[in-house]
Structure 1
């Protein structure tokens, strides 16, 4: 199936990498019943590429070793062998699923050989969303295949779901201001400096956007609100009366002007050939700063620390969170870097 006319070239590259896989009998696409080309084009209005880097993209953090929380080393995958369209008969990935996943918590799927488990890939499966933001993915030998390419690891690693594991990331921003309340501009670019709420992850110690997994049956908007409250405001540890007041102020923030920054695949170190992260990142911008002044930051849940961080190209964040932040600065007309990306110059 060809993408609809509204589908960006980047998604043609990523989404069709799965659709154009080897046509062997054991390798099958399982389409949703009424998936028209027009409907497909509306599934993912934003994506992880721009015109400067679409032709050279491949995941990188999803190729790193050791695998998070383990001593497992991935099989090495050369850059020119990442894509599934490149034949590689000698590909021999390591199989790994973490013990915490195999223990069968409620957030994880059973193993595929479980006779009582028959997942419906590429469609909504009860309360579990098994569709991908990047279109149809290949199911090979009963296993979903990472649409972006090889990772050197099969199984699920630390991820609960076979196929896409859906998350939501709230990007809360404000303008950096001086003591008099005036916006502060960058000395070189003259563009105003944005700040965003960043957390330091307990699991790996890296700074990141607050966020987490979408629970089965949960709306994305509810996940965004819950995760920001838990990780950046420590809502789980508040007394009932405190929590009620916090909820009202948080709702005021989330009701302000906002936009979807990104929907789709995340280059995450937990990804495998058969399980991968996808997210919807949404920017909530406090234009005056007054709303966030009434929401004191306090780390909680999976966050070890939380603080306001100045945004620039020097940011080193978890997964491809820096890319999401860059998209926000472009939308807001804020400072990102002193010199334009040389690869994007005319």
Structure 2
């Protein structure tokens, strides 16, 4: 039977958690002494607290208070299950961290539009600088309740860069789990990444939760891009696999 360990101590949201040996990562492997660190921030530890930023989708302190698990499980990008206590289990296995630092328990659906402009040596990729860690990333964010991924792709791009590509049909690159720094045993991110191709760059201005937006040289090699960005804040690690899908 799958079980979820009871959190015993809190840690900062960026704490890496307790080490998880590869042999014990799977939920199907018993680990009686497993004691992950709870990285839930104070504003999410109790229900009904103020949410001025509007990012808390589940205003409940524990996932067994969520009432629509059947719908969430049936529409998940990556299948997962609940343990005997009604807590969602990360589909990649134990992470060494529990609780959540995301708006929802379980899968948090995201949309990541990758915009490439130009041809040959003039090709550019549109990136934004994240406000939470200063790294350069693909514009994007969480899918709002009741919203689908295609709509979220257009909305997030417009909100973070001012670029409106509602008139262009993108090519879906990937739909799957993202190794996001906020992931825990009970909350994680899965994303729909899509490619938009433009003949030339268009004006982009940072907004929403982006502190900067810029077109960076793109020659088809993610490592080259990472090296270029190393002295400018770095490339957001969770988005590297999405760029590698190009």
> In the alignment, which residue of structure 1 is the partner of 2:62?
112
Quote the residue 1:90 is aligned against: 33
* Residue of 280, 284, 306 corresponding to 2:196: 284
Question: Which consecutive unaligned segments of at least 5 residues does structure 1 have?
Answer: 1-23, 28-64, 177-182, 185-192, 234-245, 329-346
Equivalent in 197, 211, 215 of residue 304 of structure 1: 211
Confirm or deny that 1:100 pairs with 2:43. Answer: yes
When the two structures are superposed, what TM-score results if normalisation uses the length of structure 2? Answer: 0.80
| 1:16-95 correspondence to structure 2 within 5 Å | 24=1, 67-68=13-14, 72=15, 74-95=17-38
CA deviations over 1:295-318 (Å, ceiling 9, x no partner): x11111111111112232323432
Shift of 1:320: 2.6
Equivalent residues of 1:96, 1:153 under 8 A apart: yes
Cα RMSD between the aligned structures?
Answer: 2.6
CA contact 2:144–2:152 (8 Å) conserved in 1: yes
Going from structure 1 to structure 2, the CA distance change for 1:150 and 1:25 (only over 3 Å counts) comes to: closer
Match of 1:203 among 125, 132, 141: 132
Q: Match of 1:151?
A: 95
Aligned in 2, Cα 1:221/1:113: closer, same or farther, shift over 3 Å? closer
Asked whether the 8 Å contact 1:263–1:280 carries over to 2, the reply is: yes
C-alpha offsets along residues 166-206 of structure 1, whole Å, 9 cap, x if unaligned?
Answer: 11111111134xxxxxx32xxxxxxxx74210011011111
User: Which structure 2 residue ranges, 5 or more long, are not aligned?
Assistant: 5-10, 227-234
Matched residues, number:
222
Aligned residue number for residue 121 of structure 1: 69
Q: Distance in 1 between matches of 2:84 and 2:215?
A: 44
Q: Partner of 2:149 in structure 1?
A: 220
Partner of 1:318: 236
For the 8 Å contact 1:131–1:164, the answer to whether it is kept is no
Matched, 1:269 2:181: yes
TM-score by length of 1: 0.58
Larger Rg: 1
Partner secondary structure for residue 43 of structure 2: helix
